[in-house]
Amino acid sequence: MRTDAEKILLTEKEISDKVKELGQAISSDYENEELLIVGILKGAFIFMSDLVRSINCQVEFDFMAVSSYGLSSKSTGVVRIMKDLEQNIENRHVILVEDIVDTGLTLKYLLENLRTRKPASLKICTLLDKPERREVQINLDYCGFQIPDEFVVGYGLDYAEKYRNLKDILVLRPEVYNK
């Protein structure tokens, strides 16, 4: 699998340190509050798992599954909700956890959808941000790393459902996804 990579972008240690830092920031901001952490499947599940264990306040979690990529390396811009929330978010403090924000189109759709459900607050936590690819303005409340416009895999991020189990985040060689 590593032979499909050009380089390691972020090591397991760098990721772990940043996740702890994000967890401490969230804990500080919500010290006396109950939180509902909403993970976006499948990419954010590993990040979210580590993140919630770094948060020192009352936490519940739920998941949504959306699709805008399919088996492609680029977002189609069409968002489909494959799995919706099981919990009511009205009057709750919600943090939406994403693996990566690039164009912002999927996240914009999700935010608009969730705001209609009247949460007390709605914030975004992402591990990775690709601001070069942004097509819509998105304010990220908690951001791990800004990365260049390269196709990355590992630590939950995939290409065609592969590479999610890698502990580091790697830049995938273009010949792998430009077939």
Distance of alpha carbon 164 from alpha carbon 24, whole angstroms: 25
Q: Are 60 and 87 in contact (CB under 8 A)?
A: yes
CB atoms within 10 A of CB 101: 23
Q: How far is CA 85 from CA 2, 20, 25, 66, 90, in A?
A: 35, 26, 25, 11, 12
Q: List Cβ neighbours of 76 (8 Å cut-off, separation of 6 or more).
A: 68, 69, 70
Query: Of these residues, 102, 129, 158, 168, which one is catalytic?
Result: 102
Identify whether 102 is a catalytic site residue.
yes
Distance of alpha carbon 5 from alpha carbon 24, whole angstroms: 32
- What is the enclosing helix (H) or strand (E) of 13? helix 12-29
Give the catalytic positions in this structure.
102
